[in-house]
Chains A and B, each alone.
Chain A
Amino acid sequence: MTLYNRYLVILASLFSLSTVVLAAYGVNRLDAYFTVYVLEYMVTTLLFVSLDPRARRLLDTAGYVLFAGFLIIVAVKVYAILRGT
């Protein structure tokens, strides 16, 4: 199996597994799923140290975009808490 195939299979397995686990625990918030996906993506990408530099640059860019999405979720939550108080 090539490096890219291994990377995709591992990510797909992690996403599926975390979805099943979160669903089993009755999590109904999409932002919770998204946060877990972002964490899994970032850790997996970090662990694949031997990725081609060009692939790494592209995946890092995608990581920044996902992290920005994660920050937006956090900001919305903080805003909701502050507004509630």
Chain B
Amino acid sequence: MRHLHAYARLGAALVAGGALCAPFFYFVAASPALTALALSAVLLGVIALLLEKSLPQVPPQAAQLLLKAGLDNLAGLLEELGVRTKALYLPSRLTSGKPMALIPLGSHPPSPAALRPLPGRMLVETGPGPDEVALLVSTPGTTVRPLLEGSPGSSSSELETALARVLVGGLDLAQGVLVSQEDGRVTVEAERVRLEWEDLWVYQVIGSPVASVAAAVVADGLDRPVRILDEHRTDRSLVVHLQVVP
């Protein structure tokens, strides 16, 4: 038997129940209030069926496995190279059309002011010196950026709306997002994050998946490179501090 999702079952039950009860309530019980209640059940059922159609096709567990598999390769590479420098999240303007993370490999971190649009390659030169090379990598933030239509905007409320669209509406990873900006620093607070917290090497470089999404969206919104200063988890939320690089 074909497996039906909970929303589909709920929707079908509400539509069928409401459609069967409405004529009875109207013609037999002669109660407009009960008839209206039955019609509201039909309406709710239709809404549940519509929500079912927009649910992601990949189950959350499978999505988490795919994310882990994708990050494992990058983690292995960074561990082999012994990289611990925090990544610089570049806006779409400086990459090949999507926000990406720049991880410096040499001892000289790249000067953000001197950054020009970089080619879409993994190994890029960030200056004339022999050790001025960096890795330009896709992160979870890169892959979710298409969920937003257009630029996220630069004000705190615009960034908050954009991040809520991605983290709450698109990925269902958090229940709410708060954003504040002060003196070149952006604080993102994701409430009730539903993602296991792991202290991995790769997360020290590019940040956790939620921090990566926050950094990519903020970098694109402000059109400036952004660095994850730190992130910490409280009982109910994940707080990410970002530094906007001038």
Contact B36 A3 (CB under 8 A): no
- Find chain B residues with CB under 8 A from A33 CB: 32-33, 36, 39-40
The chain A residue with its CB closest to the CB of B48 is A8
Give bound CA distance, A12 to B50, whole Å: 15
Residue A34, interface by CB 8 Å: yes
Contact A3 B172 (CB under 8 A): yes
Give bound CA distance, A41 to B42, whole Å: 13
Contact partner of B44 among A3, A11, A23, A30, CB < 8 A? A11
**9 shortest A-B CB distances, which residue pairs?**
A33-B36, A23-B33, A55-B54, A50-B164, A50-B169, A15-B40, A54-B54, A50-B168, A58-B50
Interface of chain A: mostly helix, strand, loop or mixed: helix
Q: Indicate whether A27 sits within 8 Å of B32 (C-beta atoms), given known contacts A8-B51, A15-B40, A55-B50.
A: yes
Chain A proximity mask over B1-15: 1 for CB below 8 Å, otherwise 0: 000000100100000
The chain A residue with its CB closest to the CB of B54 is A55
Shortest CB-to-CB span from A12 to chain B, Å, is 6
- Find chain B residues with CB under 8 A from A15 CB: 37, 40, 43-44
Residue A29, interface by CB 8 Å: yes
30 inter-chain pairs at a CB distance below 8 angstroms, sorted by A residue, are: A3-B168, A8-B44, A8-B51, A11-B44, A19-B33, A19-B36, A22-B33, A22-B36, A28-B32, A33-B33, A33-B39, A33-B40, A37-B36, A37-B39, A37-B43, A41-B43, A49-B161, A50-B161, A50-B164, A50-B168, A52-B54, A53-B147, A53-B165, A53-B170, A54-B53, A54-B54, A55-B51, A55-B54, A62-B47, A62-B50
Interface of chain B: mostly helix, strand, loop or mixed: helix
Shortest CB-to-CB span from A65 to chain B, Å, is 9
Residue A64, interface by CB 8 Å: no
- Find chain A residues with CB under 8 A from B165 CB: 49-50, 52-53
- Find chain B residues with CB under 8 A from A4 CB: 7, 51, 55
Mark A residues whose CB is within 8 Å of B. 1-4, 7-8, 11-12, 15-16, 19, 22-23, 27-30, 33-34, 37, 41, 49-55, 58-59, 62, 66
Residue B149, interface by CB 8 Å: yes
Give bound CA distance, A29 to B147, whole Å: 43
Contact A62 B53 (CB under 8 A): no
Apart from A28-B32, A53-B149: 10 A-B pairs, beta carbons within 8 A: A8-B44, A16-B37, A30-B36, A34-B39, A49-B165, A53-B169, A55-B54, A58-B50, A58-B51, A62-B46
Give bound CA distance, A82 to B168, whole Å: 49
